[in-house]
C-alpha cells in the first residue's frame, strides 16, 4: 500500500504525535508499505528511508518557537507525484486542511487522526470565546474524512458528543526496550539534580506551555526540601517558568532525545504530570516503562493509563494540596519502589506493534470501503 501522511508536526520535533508517527512508519515499512510524509519544512528530508516532502513553514503567533505550514498547492503536487492509495491527515488544522481539500478533490480515500485538544487550550490563552468556533472548525475538518481516529477512550466519547463522525480508538504504545530502568546513568542523575543526588528527583517531560500547569510543581519544592525537580523540554513558556522557579532546586535541560531522554527517565525517581489538556500523554507510558511511578492530574486519558495506588497517584486537579500530599507520600521508598515496579509491569503490555498493526487495519478498511480506480490521479493535472 502507498500511504501519504500529512502532518502538522514532524521531526525534528519530538512530541507524542511525532513519536507515534515514527514508530508507525517504521512498522509500516517493515510490512512492505511505501510511505510519504508531507510536513512543515524544518530541514528534514528523510526519515530512515522514508521521504519527507517539506512545505514552507512560518512562526505562529501563539507558539512563536514552533513553525507551522499553511495552505499550499505543493500538497497537491506531492500527492500527484506519489500517487498514494490512501491519505492520512494527522491533527488537521492548517496544513492538514490543505491535505483534506486536495485528497477530496483527487477522490482519494481519506483518514484523519485527532491528537490535540486545541479548543481546551483556549482557556489558557484568554481566548475562551473562541471555543465554539474552534470545535466547529475541527469537526468540519474531521467530518470530511472517511474514518477518524483518536488516542483515548475518554476523548473518543467527548468527540462523539461533539458530533464527530465515524471515530475509532487508536491504541497507545511505547518503546519498551528504549525506555527501561537499565538506562540509569549516574552522570545524568548528577546533571538533573545539580549534584544533589540524594534528594528525590521529580521529572517533568514535555512542552513548556501555559496549558501544562507546570507552575503547580513549585509548591512541592516549597513544602519539602527533600525533593528537586528536572524539567525536560522547551516551549513558549520557558522564560516565564525559569523566573517562576528561580531560587528552587530546579534544572531546565531543554529538549533531550533518544538515549539521553531514556537516561533522564531512568535516572529519576517520580514522574509528575499536572496537565489536564492531553488527549493521551505518551510520556506517562515512557516514564512507567522506565520504572517510575506517576503522579498526575486526574483526567480521562490519565485515568486510562495510571491506576491510582497501583502504578501511581491521581489527584483532583481542583485540589492543589492533594497533588503535594501524593508526592510527599512517595518519600517512603518502600511505597515508591512498589509503585515503580507495578508501573513497569503494566507498561510492558503496550509495545508499538499492536497499535501500528491496528493503524494498517484501519487503512485497509478505509481503502476497501472507499476504493477509487487508480486512473483517478492520472486524470487530474496540477
* pLDDT at 125 (0 to 100): 82
pLDDT in tens, 42-87: 999 999 999 999 999 998 876 666 899 999 999 999 999 999 999 9
Among residues 301, 311, 294, which one has the least CA distance to residue 349? 311
* pLDDT at 375 (0 to 100): 47
* pLDDT at 64 (0 to 100): 66
CB distance 147 to 111 below 8 Å: yes
What is the arithmetic mean of pLDDT over 85-114?
A: 98
Q: Which long-range contacts (CB under 8 A, 24 or more apart) does 54-58 make?
A: 55/95
Q: How confident is the model at residue 380 (pLDDT cuts 50, 70, 90)?
A: low
Q: How confident is the model at residue 308 (pLDDT cuts 50, 70, 90)?
A: very high
Q: What span, in angstroms and rounded, lies between the C-alpha atoms of 248 and 59?
A: 32
Beta strands in the chain (DSSP E): 2-7, 34-40, 46-47, 50-55, 58-60, 63-68, 86-90, 110-114, 147-150, 167-169, 200-205, 227-232, 250-254, 270-273, 294-297, 312-315
The two beta strands, 86-90 and 63-68, are: unpaired
Q: What span, in angstroms and rounded, lies between the C-alpha atoms of 100 and 79?
A: 12
* pLDDT at 252 (0 to 100): 98
Cell numbers describing residue 219: 509548591
Domains of the chain: 2-173+352-373 (3.40.50.2000), 181-347 (3.40.50.2000)
CB atoms within 10 A of CB 13: 19
Q: Evaluate if residue 381 carries a pLDDT over 70.
A: no
pLDDT in tens, 320-378: 899 999 999 999 999 999 999 999 999 998 899 999 999 999 999 999 998 654 444 55
Question: Greater confidence, 13 or 214?
Answer: 214
Say what the pTM is: 0.91
pLDDT in tens, 189-245: 999 999 999 999 999 999 999 999 999 999 999 999 999 999 999 999 999 999 999
* pLDDT at 62 (0 to 100): 64
Q: What span, in angstroms and rounded, lies between the C-alpha atoms of 66 and 209?
A: 12
Q: What span, in angstroms and rounded, lies between the C-alpha atoms of 350 and 171?
A: 9
User: Within the chain, what is the greatest distance between any pair of CA atoms?
Assistant: 69
Spatial strand order of the sheet with 312-315 comes to 250-254, 227-232, 200-205, 270-273, 294-297, 312-315
Q: How confident is the model at residue 279 (pLDDT cuts 50, 70, 90)?
A: confident
Q: Is 74 helix (H, G, I), strand (E, B) or coil?
A: helix
Amino acid at each position: 500500500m502507498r500511504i501519504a501522511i500529512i502532518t502538522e508536526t514532524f521531526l525534528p520535533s519530538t512530541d507524542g504525535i511525532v513519536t507515534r508517527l515514527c514508530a508507525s512508519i517504521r512498522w509500516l515499512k517493515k510490512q512492505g508499505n511505501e510511505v510519504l510524509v508531507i510536513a512543515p519544512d524544518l530541514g528534514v528530508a528523510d526519515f530512515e528511508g522514508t521521504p519527507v516532502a517539506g512545505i514552507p513553514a512560518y512562526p505562529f503567533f501563539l507558539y512563536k518557537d514552533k513553525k507551522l505550514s499553511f495552505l499550499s498547492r505543493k500538497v497537491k503536487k506531492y500527492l500527484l507525484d506519489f500517487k498514494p492509495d490512501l491519505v492520512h491527515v494527522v491533527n488537521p488544522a492548517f496544513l492538514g486542511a490543505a491535505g483534506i481539500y486536495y485528497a477530496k478533490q483527487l477522490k482519494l480515500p481519506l483518514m484523519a487522526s485527532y491528537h490535540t485538544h486545541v479548543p481546551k487550550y483556549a482557556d489558557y490563552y484568554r481566548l475562551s470565546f473562541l471555543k465554539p468556533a474552534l470545535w466547529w472548525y475541527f469537526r468540519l475538518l474531521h467530518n470530511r474524512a472517511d474514518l477518524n481516529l483518536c488516542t483515548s477512550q475518554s476523548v473518543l466519547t467527548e468527540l462523539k458528543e461533539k458530533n464527530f463522525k465515524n471515530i475509532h480508538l487508536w491504541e497507545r504504545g511505547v518503546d519498551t526496550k528504549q525506555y527501561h530502568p537499565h538506562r540509569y546513568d549516574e552522570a545524568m542523575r548528577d546533571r538533573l539534580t545539580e549534584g544533589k543526588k540524594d534528594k528525590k528527583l521529580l521529572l517533568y517531560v514535555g512542552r513548556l506551555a501555559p496549558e501544562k500547569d507546570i507552575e503547580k510543581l513549585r509548591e512541592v519544592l516549597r513544602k519539602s526540601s527533600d525533593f528537586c525537580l528536572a524539567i525536560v523540554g522547551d516551549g513558549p513558556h520557558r522564560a516565564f517558568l525559569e523566573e517562576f522557579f528561580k531560587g528552587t532546586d530546579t534544572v531546565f535541560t531543554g529538549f533531550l532525545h533518544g538515549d539521553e531522554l531514556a537516561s533522564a527517565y531512568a535516572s529519576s525517581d517520580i514522574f509528575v504530570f499536572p496537565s489536564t489538556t492531553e488527549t493521551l500523554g505518551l510520556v506517562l507510558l515512557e516514564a512507567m516503562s522506565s520504572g517510575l511511578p506517576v503522579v498526575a492530574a486526574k483526567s480521562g486519558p490519565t485515568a486510562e493509563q495510571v491506576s491510582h495506588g497501583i502504578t501511581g497517584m491521581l489527584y483532583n486537579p481542583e485540589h492543589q494540596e492533594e497533588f503535594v500530599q501524593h508526592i510527599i507520600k512517595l518519600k517512603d521508598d518502600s511505597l515508591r519502589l512498589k509503585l515503580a515496579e507495578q508501573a513497569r509491569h503494566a507498561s510492558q503490555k503496550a509495545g508499538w506493534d499492536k497499535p501500528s498493526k491496528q493503524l494498517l487495519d484501519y487503512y485497509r478498511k478505509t481503502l476497501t470501503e472507499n476504493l477509487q480506480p487508480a486512473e483517478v490521479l492520472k486524470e487530474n493535472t496540477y
